[in-house]
Amino acid sequence: MTALVVSCQKKEKTETTAPEPAAKTYALIDKASWLVGEWGNTSKEGVLTETWTRLNDSTLTAQTYFVTGKDTVHTESVVLEQKMDSLFYIPTVKNQNDGKPVTFKLTSSTDQLLVFENPKHDFPQKITYNKITNDSLVAAISGMKNGKESKESYPMKKKS
């Protein structure tokens, strides 16, 4: 004869469960989201257009064109990307740097100002975006050029 004994006992759960992983936050790229849209300026030199779009949670992209008459004299693609706790401005300019991107790191920011720097780049070494109002900004490039301090500013109004 076989006897079967079954015992049920309530055990207190003593294991700890791992907390849910925190959702990744992209505070730096979110702080720059005011760039999204089409910006431009018309001057006697030509028409500047810079269009920013959100690619994903961590990346904005931009296309910049400067047209004089019917000639596009400057084109630039920009990737603004947050990696870990840093934000990088990575432009690729046609006919410059052998067509390779150059990386500038965010060195300072507020809700209205983004400052990116690359001290090893020939020119510019600094790129800034200064939000004046919700529909107005000034982009600027600066640094040493041919042994002299140089700065170029590009005021723009939001088109869309």
Kindly report, residue by residue over 71-83, the tens digit of the pLDDT. 999 999 999 999 9
> Going from the N-terminus, what domains does the chain have, and what CATH number goes with each?
27-158 (2.40.128.20)
Contact 55, 62 (CB under 8 A): no
> One-letter amino acid identity for 47?
V
Characterize 12-49 residue by residue with b for buried, 16 or more Cβ atoms within 10 angstroms of its Cβ, and e for exposed.
eeeeeeeeeeeeeebebbebbebbeeebbbeeeebebb
pTM of the model: 0.83
- Rounded distance, CA 55 to CA 81, Å? 10
Kindly report, residue by residue over 98-150, the tens digit of the pLDDT. 889 999 999 999 999 999 999 999 999 999 999 999 999 999 999 999 999 99
User: Any idea which residue has 């979110």 for tokens?
Assistant: 30
Contact 16, 105 (CB under 8 A): no
